[in-house]
Amino acid sequence: MTADTAAAAVTEHTVLATQLGKLTIVRDAGSLVGLYFPRHWPRPDRAAFGPRTGRGFGDVARQLDEYLAGDRGEFNLPLEARGTEFQRRVWDLVAQVPYGQTTTYGDLSRCLGDGVSAQEVGAAVGRNPLCILIPCRRVIGSAGKLTGYAGGLDRKRALLELEQARMARVRRALATGFW
């Protein structure tokens, strides 16, 4: 292993100030492995964050800023969501929910089949280590109610409203020919 390879394999984190509050972003070996709000639930193991640095997080900071400004609909970042095989299957489905749309825990459980319950899906969604980047905010209760979000329901609501506002702007622009 070269010195460059060893340096790239170090787990590091940074803290970004955003309009939704501070976000702790963790990377390991060049991939993002965690994105956490303050008082994130369940609480991540901070000992696994590695040292704090301000270097090398420019791309994720830029893309998050663009997303939160309503100028970006998807992320192009190296992600490594660490969890059980079942959790990763759920997160893969969540990642497929289109921008500005929602699905339910029940819909996801039906997609998974094998008698998977909505509660099992909810538990996996709640363990998403890359909130915002894997859009678990787009998963809602069966009656359209906002339920559970690691960063709190106010943030979940704000993120969904941000996406719906951007989609409304796009629809207006397409309808008027100003796209």
| 29 in Cβ contact with 8 (< 8 Å) | yes
Return d(Cα 74, Cα 112) in angstroms, integer: 24
Of 136, 139, 159, 160, the catalytic one is 136
Active site residue 136: yes
pLDDT digits (tens, 9 = 90+) for 164-176: 999 988 888 888 8
Which distant-in-sequence residues (6+ apart) come within 8 Å of 18 by Cβ? 64, 65, 68
Residue 108's pLDDT is what?
Answer: 97
Res 148 pLDDT > 90: no
User: Taking the C-alpha atoms of 110, 115, 117 and 120 in order, what is their torsion angle to the nearest 10 degrees?
Assistant: -110
Residue 4's pLDDT is what?
Answer: 46
Res 143 pLDDT > 50: yes
pLDDT band at 50 (very low <50, low <70, confident <90, very high): very high
Mean pLDDT of 59-80: 96
Q: 36 by DSSP, 3-state: which?
A: strand
In the chain, the domains with their CATH numbers are 3-68 (3.30.160.70), 85-176 (1.10.10.10)
Res 60 pLDDT > 90: yes
Q: Is the peptide bond before 42 cis (omega within 30 degrees of 0)?
A: yes
pLDDT band at 43 (very low <50, low <70, confident <90, very high): confident
Residue 173's pLDDT is what?
Answer: 82
Residue 178's pLDDT is what?
Answer: 65
Res 114 pLDDT > 60: yes
Considering only residues 133 and 143, tell me which one the structure prediction assigns the higher pLDDT.
Answer: 133
Res 179 pLDDT > 70: no
Beta strands (DSSP E) in 58-136 are: 103-104
Residue 40's pLDDT is what?
Answer: 83
pLDDT digits (tens, 9 = 90+) for 21-34: 999 999 999 999 99
Indicate the average pLDDT of the chain: 91
The CB density around residue 13, as the number of other CB atoms within 10 Å, is 21
Res 106 pLDDT > 70: yes
Task: Look up residue 43 and give its DSSP letter.
Answer: P
Residue 44's pLDDT is what?
Answer: 85
